[in-house]
Amino acid sequence: MKDKIFFGLVGLFILLLFFRPDYDYRLLNKGIYFHHVEDYGQLKELAEKSNVLFYKRSPYSSITVTEQKEFFGTEADKPTYFETLKKLRINGKIQCGTGKFDITTTTLQAALPLLLHKEPRNALNIGIGCGLTQGVLNIYPLESIDAIEVDPAVLEASEYFNDVHNNALKDSRVNVIVADARNFLLTTDKKYDIIVNTPSHPWSSPSNNLFTKEFFEMLNEHIEEDGLVVQWYASLSSSTRSFKVFYKTFSEVFPHIVIFSAKVPKANYRFFKNGSFEIYYQGFEQGELIVIGSKSPIKISEKSFAGTELEKYLKIIHFTKLSDYYVADGEDLENFAVDSKYNTDDKPVLEFLSSQSLYSDSYGRVIKEIQDYLKRGAE
């Protein structure tokens, strides 16, 4: 009897091995736990619009690169047009891509410190993702750039964006390091002029370790006296309460802070008598927050890159001038988060607090709260 059961299980295993169902990775990697989908029909409809260019399961996560047409201008009084966009998903959650919000954020994460630092010589990029931020860093004549990514599968996925970041990881100045960022920093005494820290959302447990007071202290130890630490924060899907925890933690380590919004230009239409139209950009939509910290005062000046490759990248996101993206500095927000808690290794409150706003209508709430706080202080 035992022999029959044993051979039966072996036979079943062989059948499953060779005749396993053909999973639709478009469905499996839509991230329905984060991206709202009402029912299976809607999920299937969304999945069928995308083409999977890359899929791999690593020891860390499930990585997918998709390509799909996205339609814009569907309002009754506006013409419809589409763009073909690529997106990198980790466990279904979109991390970056070629859409206007992603391109603007990833570009400014590199461009802002290059605009603010007097004469940067080297940089550290934590979290390669699509490679778009790395591509912008490469444009500036830095002497060396260390780029850290914990998951080798993400490096493979980034190759599908080579046409956007110009084969950024092949640049001779770029030293690609496959490692955990914290472990790497513990093994080196090297200091940087610019550190760009762009982990995923803090509600993702591996990423929360890159939002703690202890990690910010590690970054502070590895920047020069006039160095800049750039921290992305997903303010558009965050509650004010969780942002205050982040801000109090970050400002405890870095005495000088400047906050920018990765604003996205609004698309407008100009119609012609022959029925054709063109799109032009005027005004802004609020974007994610980019928080920059330093040991020394940060001077905001309109640094010119006219005639350079960086200017071409800035034109893609319709960049105007630095002051248009400015939100506030540390002095403006001195008591903004005074009653909040710190996010630490032992008490990772941000990991759990930020997850509470995943399904709430929190779009743009953080920036509005900052603006209201500044208004109250000016009265």
- For the chain, give every domain's residue range: 29-97, 100-378
Residue 19 CA to residue 113 CA, distance in Å, equals 53
Residue 228 CA to residue 300 CA, distance in Å, equals 13
Return the structure tokens found at 271. Answer: 């119609």
In this prediction, residue 291 carries a pLDDT of: 96
The half-sphere exposure of 148 on its side-chain side, counting CA atoms within 13 A, is 18
- Predicted TM-score (pTM) of the model is 0.86
In this prediction, residue 317 carries a pLDDT of: 85
Residue 46 CA to residue 27 CA, distance in Å, equals 9
Residue 208 CA to residue 313 CA, distance in Å, equals 30
Helix (H, G, I), strand (E, B) or coil at 36: coil
Q: Positive or negative, the Cα torsion across 190, 195, 200, 204? A: positive
pLDDT digits (tens, 9 = 90+) for 43-91: 666 667 778 899 998 888 889 998 887 655 544 455 455 578 899 988 8
In this prediction, residue 76 carries a pLDDT of: 47
Return the structure tokens found at 65. Answer: 């690169």
Q: What is the mean pLDDT of the chain?
A: 84
What element of type H or E holds 278? strand 277-285
What element of type H or E holds 378? helix 365-378
**pLDDT under 50 in the chain at which residues?**
74-76, 79
Question: Of the candidates 71, 23, 63, 22, which has an alpha carbon nearest to the alpha carbon of residue 46?
Answer: 71
**Fold of the domain built from segment(s) 100-378:** Rossmann fold (3.40.50)
